[in-house]
Amino acid sequence: MKFIDGLKSRMPLPARFALRLPALPASVATMVAAVALLLVSIGYVVVIGGHADIRGPWFGMAMPRTAPHPQALITPRQPASPAGQPGPATSSESTSSDGAAEMPGAQGKPPSFAALPELPLAEPLPDAPQAGLFRSTPKGNLPTVAADGRTAATAYARPFTGEPGRPRLAVVVAGLGLDPEATRAAISRLPPEVTLAFSPYAANLDGWIKEARAAGHEVLLGLPLEPMLFPAHDNGPLSLGAGMSVPAALDRLESILGAASGYVGLLGSFRAPLANSETMTAVLGTVKDSGLLYVGDTVPARRPTDLPIAMVTTVADDEPFRSAVDARLSEAATVARRQGAAVAVIHPLPVSFERASLWIERLRNDGIEAAPVSAVALGGRRG
């Protein structure tokens, strides 16, 4: 009994409540409480601005509740947050990994979408679709190269007016359209240089894209690829699988491309077995023939020539702490200085939006241009 009493004292409140339920036999209630205690011992919940992620020794990655499931992005974990920091960074400063000036925090307040400042209205991008850039099919309007050579990747791109020759850093928000609050915050509270990538599973997808373009944001469409941990992780019925035939993959691709208009290209899921396959070579061939660009972390060796590609440098909020996000953005800036360009992907989380907004404010002072992802993928081919 002493053991049971000691067990009860360490139980979370729901487990203690279960023990008091008169309808349950004592043995069943004790078993329920023991299972609850076991779950608590292998993982804990960290609430970040109303968004929770589950962590523990058996969870290989953070899983934000508002992460872009089923268009999830999977990347290796960054080293754990600094010792003694069990939750999101709450200090007023955080240190960048390249020794640059420290970024301000929010005086201990948890980040939230509501706390982000509303930005002045930016110049809207032209309406889409444009004549000649699509063909009508039973799956919807599919992008195509116009007779005069125009492409969606150039016609729908956000104009880049940065100083030539300076390094470029693109920030892309993945998985939008699934959480209305996060999507509205991305559209109205992030700088227009930030590229917004929408999940093909989003309700009112075409409406969200039109709203984003009206606010000056360049847009990508998410391309779900079957993840390494399939079927434990499933990117949904539109996902392109590793064992899929080329005709089946291209048919599914057309279903994705026909869901909306006005996007410059596709953002592929990360660490997908399909990404380095012959099937993916055919998929990227269709992407090129459609006049689109591609953003991802892996491309097949035999990829189409002249396909505009932007390789992802980092997922900045793999560890959704202020200091960790700042460190990843700093790494991306270092890569941009060394290689001329870099791409950082973030998710629809308040901490990610807060840190990215602050970072973009200081990029120009660091000699780097904040750029839409098309400016990285297309380089001098913009037109």
- Give the pLDDT score at 162: 87
- Give the pLDDT score at 93: 42
Contact (Cβ atoms closer than 8 angstroms) between residue 49 and residue 35: no
Spatial distance between the Cα atoms of 311 and 11, rounded to a whole number of angstroms: 47
Domains of the chain with CATH codes: 103-381 (3.20.20.370)
Cα 4 off chain centre by: 45
- Give the pLDDT score at 299: 82
The packing angle between helices 180-189 and 205-214, to 10°, is: 20
C-alpha closest to that of 263 among 217, 228, 305, 232? 217
- Give the pLDDT score at 37: 52
Any bridge partners for residue 197, and if so which?
Answer: 220
C-alpha closest to that of 87 among 324, 355, 357? 324
pTM of the model: 0.75
C-alpha closest to that of 250 among 282, 273, 206? 282
- Give the pLDDT score at 229: 76
C-alpha closest to that of 192 among 167, 166, 173, 168? 173
Any bridge partners for residue 48, and if so which?
Answer: 51
Mean pLDDT by 10 residues, the chain (383 residues): 47 47 53 52 38 29 34 35 37 40 62 93 94 96 97 97 92 98 97 97 97 98 87 85 90 97 93 80 95 91 89 96 96 96 98 96 92 91 48
CB atoms within 10 A of CB 236: 14
Give buried/exposed letters for 248-262 (b at 16+ CB in 10 A, else e): ebbebbbebbbbbbb
The packing angle between helices 350-363 and 322-339, to 10°, is: 40
- Give the pLDDT score at 28: 52
